[in-house]
Structure 1
Amino acid sequence: MTITADETVATDARSDAPASRYPEYDFSRPAQLDRESIRHLEAGFEAFARLWSAQLTAKVRVRAHLALERVELVSYEEYAETLPVTTAMVVAGLAGREEPCVVQFGLDSALLWVVQMMGGRSTSLPAARTFTPIELALVRHLMDDTFEHLHAGMDGLLPAEPRFSAVHYNPQYMQVISATAAVIVARYSLRLGDAETTATVMIPASVVADRLAATGADAAGAHTPAHTVEQVRSTPLEVTLRLAPLTIGAGEVLDLAPGDLLRLPHPETKPYELVAGDTRIALATPGSRGSRLTCLITTTSEETH
């Protein structure tokens, strides 16, 4: 059997390079969130955003809107580095836990809330500064309801309702948790009337880890063997009809030219191998149906064992 060098010959199925199929793994940040956990957290933080928006609209008497931008798992140090040098970090403790939760927003936003709650009218954000005792009392009253909404929105992920603890103004110097501790951060865009700003919510990962794991276990339990079989059957698989290989020297390859003939060591009466990757799954003979090339399965791998 012969074949000309300028004809196209089927080659073995080759998988894509691993780097193109899998994201890079950051060994400096080994903690990761699976997709089910991210979806659960996003649903909770979006529910909180709706509740907090309604609360601000009612209390501040200006239409407020919060939009969840993303949820991420980072260290507390990384989170603190993304915050302004001066901001409002409202800390709340959890019963039976040392790690606190944090709701952070700009001081200018909070001062606008105070102006509105006191009956004033303002269309722009005031200059940022720390709170006076009266302003702090108003913000604390507002945040008591906010933490209640956070507990309700997270739908059981938090072990208890957060309770107001303190307000810190400098995230770089006031460390409310270990710098290397893993924290879950929800980042929001906040629009209050015509003013636009940002806000964040920080929850220590250790606080919700057990409940997220339980949620993942419930989801895994719902996955039956029948689902696995269905997924395997629907997975695309590239197969190749392969002749017996021919080994030649590198010099012969370099001397090849159009019109040269290569004699392949495959008998005409011997079936070809049908392979997936490097695994033989059947023997087959080539054929055609109309303008399409086909192969006829003659023996499967199970029949040869």
Structure 2
Amino acid sequence: MSGSDVMSQNEIDDLLSALSTGVVSAEEMRVEQKQRKIKVYDFKRPDKFSKDQIRTLYMLHENFARLLNTYLSAHLRALVHINVASVDQLTYEEFIRSLPNPSVIGIFNMRPLKGNVILELNPNIIFSVIDRLFGGPGLPPAKPRSLTDIEEAIVRRVMNKALEAFQEAWKQVVTIEPRLEAIETNPQFTQIVPPNDMVVIVTLQTKIGQVEGLINICIPYLVLEPIMSKLTTTFWVASSVSKQEHPEHMQALQRKLSRTLIPMTVELGQITVMVQELLELAVGDVLQLETKVEDDLSVIIGHKEKFRCKPGISGKKVAVQISQVVMEGDDSDE
């Protein structure tokens, strides 16, 4: 995609104005679009992402869109549609130029990957969410404006939930711990990489009720560079298959479980006393337990009785001998 393909918000407004005044006709634009079928390629700025990697990012963020759709639908109690519109690569400067001012821009990291990522929400969408959460019908204000402190707190909560969905979607490729660092409203103050660095832009078409807008995720190439080999459909399929159950995986789990430490207690007996009696206890007093000398003792594993045993001595140490296995309901298969 060349720099001329990306339009700023002012350029979009000028174009819409020209269409409405009749300076430019929609028919002329269609004819020009049909005539130009050659995509400009700049050899000074080669593509960083292959078609296969773009396809993988598309599928990955389809999962993110589904998870985010589920969260917003339940949280807002409204009809929400979110789907991936496109995945493109361009320079960071081109992306920033295309954003309106004011915008709602969340800057977060993808640890252990280095660098920052941008989650940009169209003001119409975020104000619709805010209005809905405050009990309104979900309509944005007539004129775009910056967020108030209370609104920013709400946006931060929504973004953190979105990052949870983002983390879940990325599990298929790499385990990350995204953390929101800041929220900005002016794109010009958001500089996460140099202007000419390549980034991948995932655009989500979003509709909440009757309000439509875009959600953009801007991921710099430098962030994804360490895991570029994993951003392939081959790795995607392989990772999916590897997560299926196999006998060797079950054996590995059993080996780990067999080395797990658990508390084990032998209960000598029980007795019920009054608080007054407990307060009057002194050194030398004898408490008579309900257990008889010939009775088996309870072996407590965790908080449940699992065995019965006989007390005794092994060498110079106190010991018990298992005399019975206690079977209780569904615990019989443990």
Report deviation, 1:57.
Answer: 1.3
- What is the correspondence of 1:143-162 to structure 2 with a 5 Å cutoff? 143-157=159-173, 160-162=176-178
Q: Is the 8 A contact 2:87 2:200 kept in 1?
A: yes
| Partners of 2:78 and 2:166 in 1: CA distance | 21
1:169 pairs with one of 161, 164, 185: 185
| Partners of 1:49 and 1:182 in 2: CA distance | 23
Aligned to 2:57: 41
2:67 aligned partner, one-letter code: L
Report deviation, 1:157.
Answer: 4.0
Structure 1, residues 53-108: CA drift from partner, whole Å, max 9, x if none? 11111222221111211101111111111111321111112335552111111223
| Partners of 1:54 and 1:65 in 2: CA distance | 9
Aligned to 1:113: 129
**Cα distance, 1:124–1:86 mapped onto 2, change above 3 Å:** closer
Does residue 59 (structure 1) correspond to residue 87 (structure 2)? The answer is no
1:131 pairs with one of 126, 147, 152: 147
| Partners of 2:138 and 2:230 in 1: CA distance | 47
Report deviation, 1:161.
Answer: 2.2
**DSSP-derived class of the 1:162 partner:** strand
Gaps of 5+ in 1: 1-21, 223-305
2:200 aligned partner, one-letter code: I
Q: Is the 8 A contact 2:173 2:231 kept in 1?
A: no
**DSSP-derived class of the 1:94 partner:** strand
1:169 aligned partner, one-letter code: T
Does residue 71 (structure 1) correspond to residue 92 (structure 2)? The answer is no
Q: Is the 8 A contact 1:112 1:122 kept in 2?
A: yes
| Partners of 1:216 and 1:42 in 2: CA distance | 11
Aligned to 1:91: 107
Aligned to 1:11: none
Q: Is the 8 A contact 2:127 2:139 kept in 1?
A: no
Structure 1, residues 169-208: CA drift from partner, whole Å, max 9, x if none? 1113432322122211111221110111112111122222
Q: Is the 8 A contact 1:93 1:164 kept in 2?
A: yes
**Cα distance, 1:126–1:58 mapped onto 2, change above 3 Å:** farther
Aligned to 2:47: 31
Q: Is the 8 A contact 2:104 2:123 kept in 1?
A: yes
Structure 1, residues 184-233: CA drift from partner, whole Å, max 9, x if none? 111122111011111211112222233231454956xx9xxxxxxxxxxx
**DSSP-derived class of the 1:129 partner:** coil
1:184 pairs with one of 189, 200, 214: 200
**Cα distance, 1:34–1:138 mapped onto 2, change above 3 Å:** same
Q: Relative contact order: is structure 1 or structure 2 higher (C-alpha 8 Å, sep ≥ 6)?
A: 1
**Cα distance, 1:217–1:63 mapped onto 2, change above 3 Å:** closer
**Cα distance, 1:108–1:25 mapped onto 2, change above 3 Å:** closer
Aligned to 2:211: 195
| Partners of 2:233 and 2:165 in 1: CA distance | 27
**Cα distance, 1:153–1:216 mapped onto 2, change above 3 Å:** closer
2:104 aligned partner, one-letter code: A
Q: Is the 8 A contact 1:151 1:158 kept in 2?
A: no
TM-score of the aligned structures, taking structure 2 as reference length: 0.54
**Cα distance, 1:124–1:118 mapped onto 2, change above 3 Å:** closer
Give percent identity, aligned residues only.
25
Structure 1, residues 12-63: CA drift from partner, whole Å, max 9, x if none? xxxxxxxxxx976421321332222122110011111111111111222221
Q: Is the 8 A contact 1:108 1:126 kept in 2?
A: no
Aligned alpha-carbon RMSD (Å): 2.4
| Partners of 2:194 and 2:200 in 1: CA distance | 14
Gaps of 5+ in 2: 1-37, 239-334
Worse-superposed segment, 97-106 or 84-93: 97-106
**Cα distance, 1:29–1:111 mapped onto 2, change above 3 Å:** same
| Partners of 1:182 and 1:151 in 2: CA distance | 23
